[in-house]
Structure 1
Amino acid sequence: MSRAQASQDHELWSRTLSLLLLGFICYALPLSVFAAQDDAPVLRVQGSNTIGAKLGPELIKGLFAAQGLSDIRIVPGAADNEQRIVAKGADGRTLVAEVAAHGSGTGFVALEESSADLAAASRPIKDSEAEALAALGDMRSLAAEQIIAIDGLAIIVNPGNPVARLDIEQLARLFAGEIRDWRELGGRPGTVTLYARDDNSGTYDTFKELVLAPGTRKLAAEAKRFESSTALSDAVSQDANAIGFIGLPYIRQAKAVAIASGDSQPMLPSTSLIATEDYPLSRRLFLYAPPRSNNTWVRALIDFAHGPQGQKIVADSGFIAQTVRAIEVAPSAQMPAEYRELAAKAQRLSVNFRFQEGSASLDNKAQRDLNRVLDYLSGHDKMQNKAVLVGFGDPKSAPSRAELLSKLRAMAVRRELASQGVLFRDIIGLGDELPVAANDEDSGRIRNRRVEVWVY
């Protein structure tokens, strides 16, 4: 071997050894060392104002703390409704995450334009958005769609307004401008003033879908529009004739009214009714992550948000955590006999299993709820003959068919949990009893197809 060849071999060996050593070091180090160069953000979240105003920044702040970063602070971003979460790594390097809260639709556009790593949304991804992002993977898959919290759209009025309950039809007529004076609803005379979120808002998208769309109505042109949830709520609380819609944490000084859907009982946006998604205007809050993302902070934030620390931040931020707990339910004469007996002797868990649209398969939230329920049953000694599943559905031509289908839904949940060692005390199908939504629209029928869990 020549001296030149030996020198080349030695240089090649040295470079290879250096790369191997660098790879080992990178594998062994925590996420906190992977700061981007030139102060570029390590994580960019864009979308829902409901999430981005507080919850998103607080989750990132919690993740940074869990990763051992220090001097963590939230500071204003470059524009309104934008924030930066800044921290220092162990090596003294500054790490930055950015949250832009301009509405759910903007998050999906940002993913398509590669200007965001995660889309925050307060409504499910639309068909057109999923198609536009198909190159990133299946955005409706379990890996992509992350339900991080439950929220409820509160219908708010001025605290002095005597109207205490409305049904979905009345609500739709109000916001379409068909009801213009409060005396038509038993209130004091006064011209109704409408307050609504802006067109980019997931809150507005949810309101359109749940309230306006069933009657093919449109929001009245005179409605006052807001990008900020807080500003909208404060304006309603200061206007004697106002009515608006808002995410649950933003009720503030306004008054929430009880809402009924179809044959359901009027319900206030309480924690338990929103947790089970029985409240007519309950909704899920999402993070959407491209399944093939190679940003390690994306997966870290998702895992943190689903975990106990993240769910505590969800609750502390005013939303409803997905932590399973037992709820006392008062028996009533309107309940079927079997259900009334359960209410008298058992407790209901704060989770409902629901299914994919047009399918007998559990949806993405339900698939994660299987582990949450299993952890609860195991941790509270309810694994053997202490739990009951109750299935519900929508009306069918024959009541016996509705009852059978509702029981089959409960059996689908039983099959998943039984494989993990749960032995159930009973499986009940109650057909179309106790609806939580109107059955004249697909969205209502989907909500009514559910499985409850009760424990003795």
Structure 2
Amino acid sequence: MTCRQIGDSFSGWKGAAYLAALFVFLCSSAWAQDDDIQLALPDSDFAVSGRFLGFDGQFIRVETPAGEVTLAYDSLTCVGAACPDANFVPIVRFSGSQRIGQLIMPPLIEAYARDVGATVAIARRIDGVVTFQLHSVDSGKGLMQIVVRSTTSADGFADLVASEADIVMSAREVTAAELALAREAGLGQLDRQGRSRIIALDALVPVVSPETGLAQISLENVSRIFAGEVTNWADIGGSDAAIALHLLPDWLGQMQGFQARVLAPAGRTVSPDVQRHATPEGLAAALMNDPRGFGVLPFGALGDTQPMRLVGSCGIGVAARLMTLKTEDYPLTMPLFLYLPARRLHPEVDAFLGWLRRPSAQLVIRRAGFVDQTAIAIPVAQQGDRFAQAITAAGAEVPLAELQRMVRILGPQVRLSTTFRFEVGSTRLDAQSRSNVLQLARDIRDGRHDGYVLMLVGFSDGRGPANANRDLSSARAQAVRRAVIAALEPGLPPQVSLETEAFGEALPMACDDTLWGQQTNRRVELWVADRR
């Protein structure tokens, strides 16, 4: 059949969307030999053979020698064991981070099944791949299969590009190279809003043996130590003893994030003298037996080690705690991501992903030892240290009148842990903040803030003139407001007020002599007050 004959055969078809994809396919010289399924259009010469990729209840995706095609299924006949039928059970395949796949996904799947009235059973467990089957309690009908492959974040992105996974579990942000590969594969821009979701928050914490006697360290010294530039505890105020380095495997997403965020900005790499441990438990045990040891552990796996507070040269410091992770004030906060390609998902899969934001899912995440996305109220009475720090750090350009204005405006309100920050050197919100925008918009839409005044309060670092910093912090607060309103459809409801205010450099959370300190101080906080 020639391309001209193919073109003639399109006449009278319903669904012009077929035309481009089918023309490319049928005019290709390549043709699959060992096919999973064969699709045909009744009373037509049209036929497609290829590997079944997915079905969303309306459209079927098939990998052909000419590329992936998506077709409306109800007008086609299908031959092959993988063909969807009336009893078709949607399958969603997760691949990536072991930490997500082994510690978070199983309890989430079990809790979701309970919430929707389903049973869940493990159908298969092979080489790190676990298949969960969900069936309705009432009808016994299969609802969904969830396949979880626990490997690495990098493997998860590779599986997505190879059509071996539908959703990536990642303990770090997608890299530029992975973004490019996903675009080339027709998966969309994975770092766009809506393409990634933060499933939980974790953090990396510098830790030592309790015998070391050290309780705080600068992020710069963490970088210098792991690069092998500082080799003795005496060089940073400890006893005269060689430092023994301990880390988790370098292929883990969190370790890749550690390299990117702590060492790479200074052009450093991890010393070859570091001892690697297969598990956090093994690393923690090694540190307990090594009073000279220094390591980095996930927030939920500190064991009996001594976590170290991160401190700057000006004396302002922050420890890894639930609240500092939620506010992203702790600089080594590591969001755990789900990355989704730009394609339709089956309604059952969409329902599961939507449920992940519900309170019952957030409870599961907390019980698994991670930090959830639920906003926490922080009354002014619990922020005495912050305001005392503001008074201590205030220079000549932050007069008493400005501090009094800040206390007068914020005093009657309650701060929520939701905080917004921007990417380094950019006006674009960072990954956690983009997720926070969507969550705040959802909460407003669901009526959780009805009758309240929400105030987005901008702050800046202390570099440059105070008046200019106040203007910059105001612009950031307004940018967040625009982002929230853009995420609301059809717009801000009348029962909620969303205002902005700015105080520039008046309330520092970190020292300004480091990049991470500047990023910590450049933020927009969310405050709330009853307007009735």
* Contact kept in structure 2, 1:146 and 1:288, CA below 8 Å: yes
What are the residue-to-residue correspondences of 1:345-384 with 2, within 5 Å? 345-355=412-422, 360=427, 362=429, 364-371=434-441, 374=444, 379=448, 383-384=452-453
Task: Summarize the Cα distance change of 1:367–1:237 in structure 2 as closer, same or farther, 3 Å threshold.
Answer: same
Cα gap change, 1:439/1:307 in structure 2, threshold over 3 Å: closer, same or farther? farther
Q: Aligned ranges for residues 147-186 of structure 1 at < 5 Å?
A: 147-186=198-237
Change (3 A) 1:342 1:278: farther
Question: Secondary structure at the residue paired with 2:200?
Answer: strand
Matching residue's letter, 1:57: P
TM-score (norm 2): 0.70
For the residue of structure 2 that corresponds to 1:136, the secondary structure is coil
Contact kept, 8 Å, 2:210 with 2:288, in 1: the verdict is yes
After superposition, the Cα gap between the structure-2 partners of 1:162 and 1:251, relative to the gap in structure 1 and judged at 3 Å, is same
CA RMSD of aligned residues (A): 3.4
Question: What is the aligned partner in structure 1 of residue 388 from structure 2?
Answer: 333
- CA drift of 1:95 comes to 6.4
Bigger shift: residues 420-429 or 150-159: 420-429
Q: Secondary structure of the equivalent of 1:89?
A: strand
Within a 5 Å distance, the mapping from 1:170-319 to structure 2 comes to: 170-261=221-312, 263=314, 265-296=316-347, 298-319=349-370
What letter is aligned with 1:419? L
The offset of 1:142, in angstroms, is 2.2
More helix by share: 1
Code of the aligned partner of 1:167:
S
Conserved 8 A contact 2:477-2:500: no
Give the CA deviation at 1:449.
2.9
Structure 1, unaligned runs of 5 or more? 1-10, 13-18, 21-31, 37-41
Bigger-Rg structure (1/2): 2
Structure 2 residue aligned with 1:103: 152
Q: Taking structure 1 as reference, are residues 369 and 84 closer, same or farther at Cα in structure 2, changes over 3 Å only?
A: same
Task: Give distance in 2, aligned partners of 1:394 and 1:74.
Answer: 53
Q: Indicate the percent of aligned positions where both proteins have the same amino acid.
A: 27
CA distance 1:107–1:296, change in 2 (3 Å): farther
Residue by residue, what CA displacement relative to the aligned partner does 1:67-95 show, whole Å, maximum 9, x if unpaired?
Answer: 432154598x433xx25253452437696
One-letter identity of the residue aligned with 1:399: A
Partner of 1:35: 89
- Which residue does the alignment assign to 2:458? 391
- Match for 2:493 among 420, 438, 441? 420
Change (3 A) 1:340 1:181: farther
Is the Cα contact below 8 Å between 2:208 and 2:308 reproduced in 1?
Answer: yes
Secondary structure of the 2:214 match is coil
Q: In the alignment, what sits opposite 2:508?
A: 434
> May I ask how many residue pairs the two structures share in their alignment?
420
The whole-number CA distance in structure 2 between the counterparts of 1:230 and 1:388 is: 42
- Deviation for aligned residue 1:438: 5.1
Report Cα offsets for 1:189-247 as digits up to 9, x if no partner: 43222111222211112211221112211111011123433332333233322221122
The Cα of 1:97 is off from its aligned counterpart by 3.1
The Cα shift of 1:269 comes to 0.5
Stretches of structure 2 that go unaligned for 5 or more consecutive residues are: 1-41, 44-72, 75-85, 392-402, 486-490
The whole-number CA distance in structure 2 between the counterparts of 1:300 and 1:261 is 45
SS in 1 for 2:389: coil
Secondary structure of residue in 1 paired with 2:230: coil
User: CA 1:342–1:285 in structure 2 vs 1: closer, same or farther (change >3 Å)?
Assistant: farther
Matched residue SS, 1:452 = strand
Q: 2:132 aligns with which of 86, 90, 97?
A: 86
2:167 aligned partner: 118
